[in-house]
């Protein structure tokens, strides 16, 4: 049997605590060996929530203890420095999104990983949302005809709190997922238009709209907001013969925040209740569509297989460079009021 990959986690804030630690602890092929955090409070949380799991002050300490890989879930502005440090230590890396604050930093870091021959990937877990997997299956089967418009939203109503500082603002945080899914679905982009706003000039952007024109003809309209009092459907994907609509958000995040994990849920992990299914509208005719199983639990086993040379990376890091390039263009377009044309 192939030995499990000894992997640690850098950061134990919201993302590390809820999105990564439970997945690492549940993942086949991974041996979760410890958490890097200097915070005494977070060290205590690790001990309480994962008894016996070690904590370390630095990535170097984690590597010295025998780790082979690390998942980095720290504030967005620290990602690239920590990824580069981990690569220099020979640690295979999973980096949370947003991978980088701009495309140049993203590109240079992927090039560094290739030069060093060290595995690097990005945690785009939303590719394995139940609703997105269902949409891909519908498109692949031709059930919607030719897809012409993809509408996608992460909209919440929390104007008092706004986006967390750790995420770098809504364009970077929600935008990383929204753009990544659009690229998976529609392929390369030729033009970008964006509207980005914030409560005041000193605050992080908390309401964004991005329109993408894909080279293959699809138009993606993407919304992210913390002050939308009437959120629209999560997806509305329109083709020449029908439209797929999903009202709510995939339930895997809620399960994790509620204290669950793939290990505790077992075979029911990622299974959406019938009340959460989407539907296909063809004019007056509505057809319920059973949701595919949400599969965030597949990411870390796939990463472990890639580290062992037994499978492809779950996410090509160059995809994160493409996403960062589009987010850069969106920032420019929002500032100038112009449509930004991307090179071929």
Provide the pLDDT confidence category of residue 162 given band limits of 50, 70 and 90: confident
pLDDT at 188: 98
pLDDT at 200: 85
Nearest CA to 329 out of 103, 84, 105 is that of 103
pLDDT at 4: 98
Q: Is the pLDDT of residue 1 over 70?
A: no
CB neighbour list of residue 150: distance below 8 Å, 6 or more residues apart: 182, 185, 186, 218, 219, 220, 221, 235, 237, 238
Provide the pLDDT confidence category of residue 201 given band limits of 50, 70 and 90: confident
Q: Is the pLDDT of residue 344 over 90?
A: no
Helices (DSSP H) in 158-298: which residue ranges? 170-186, 252-257, 262-265
pLDDT at 312: 98
DSSP class per residue in 45-83: HHHHHSTT-EEESSHHHHHHTT--EEEE-S-GGGHHHHH
- Percent pLDDT > 90 in the chain is 95
Mean of pLDDT over the chain: 97
Q: Is the pLDDT of residue 164 over 90?
A: no
Least confident of 155-164, 191-200, 239-248: 155-164
d(CA 344, CA 338): 19
pLDDT at 203: 86
pLDDT at 305: 98
Q: How far apart, in Å, are the Cα atoms of 88 and each of 63, 114, 117, 320?
A: 11, 12, 10, 20
Provide the pLDDT confidence category of residue 35 given band limits of 50, 70 and 90: very high
Q: Is the pLDDT of residue 161 over 90?
A: no
Query: Which tokens sit at 334?
Result: 């929002």
Report which DSSP code applies to 304: H
pLDDT digits (tens, 9 = 90+) for 258-288: 999 999 999 999 999 999 999 999 999 999 9
As beta bridge partners, residue 95 has 72, 122
Show me where the domains of the chain are located: 5-125+299-315, 126-294+325-341
Pick the CATH number of 5-125+299-315 from 3.60.15.10, 3.40.1440.60, 3.40.50.720, 3.40.30.10: 3.40.50.720
Helix axes 103-116, 79-88, angle to 10 degrees: 10
In CATH terms, the fold of domain 126-294+325-341 is: Dihydrodipicolinate Reductase; domain 2 (3.30.360)
Is 126-294+325-341 the same fold as 5-125+299-315? no
pLDDT digits (tens, 9 = 90+) for 114-155: 999 999 999 999 999 999 999 999 999 999 999 999 999 999
Positive or negative, the CA dihedral 282, 288, 292, 293 is positive
d(CA 261, CA 249): 18
Helix axes 130-140, 170-186, angle to 10 degrees: 30
């Amino acid at each position: 049997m192939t030995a499990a990959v000894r992997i640690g986690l850098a950061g134990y804030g919201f993302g590390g605590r809820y999105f990564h630690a439970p997945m690492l602890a549940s993942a086949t092929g991974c041996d979760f060996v410890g958490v890097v955090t200097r915070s005494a409070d977070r060290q205590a949380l690790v001990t309480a929530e994962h008894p016996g799991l070690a904590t370390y002050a630095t990535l170097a300490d984690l590597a010295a203890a025998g780790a082979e890989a690390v998942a980095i879930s720290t504030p967005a502005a620290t990602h690239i420095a920590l990824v580069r440090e981990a690569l220099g230590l020979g640690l295979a890396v999973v980096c949370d999104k947003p991978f980088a604050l701009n495309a140049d930093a993203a590109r240079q870091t992927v090039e560094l990983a290739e030069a060093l021959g060290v595995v690097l990937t990005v945690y785009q877990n939303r590719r394995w949302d139940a609703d997105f997997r269902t949409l891909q299956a519908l498109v692949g089967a031709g059930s919607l005809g030719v897809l012409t418009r993809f509408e996608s939203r992460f909209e919440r109503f929390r104007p008092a709190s706004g986006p967390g500082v750790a995420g770098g603002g809504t364009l970077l945080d929600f935008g990383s997922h929204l753009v990544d899914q659009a690229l998976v679905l529609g392929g390369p982009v030729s033009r970008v238009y964006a509207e980005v706003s914030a409560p005041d000039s000193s605050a992080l952007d908390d309401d964004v709209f991005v329109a993408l024109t894909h080279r293959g003809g699809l138009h993606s309209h993407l919304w992210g907001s913390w002050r939308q009092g009437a959120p629209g459907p999560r997806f509305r994907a329109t083709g020449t013969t029908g439209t797929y609509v999903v009202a709510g958000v995939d339930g895997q995040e809620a399960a994790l925040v509620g204290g669950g994990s793939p290990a505790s849920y077992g075979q029911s992990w990622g299974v959406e209740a019938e009340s959460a299914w989407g539907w296909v509208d063809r004019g007056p005719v509505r057809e319920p569509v059973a949701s595919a199983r949400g599969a965030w639990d597949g990411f870390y086993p796939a990463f472990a297989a890639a580290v062992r040379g037994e499978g492809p990376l779950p996410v090509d890091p160059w995809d994160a460079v493409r996403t960062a390039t589009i987010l850069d263009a969106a920032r420019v377009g929002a500032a100038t009021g112009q449509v930004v044309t991307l090179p071929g």
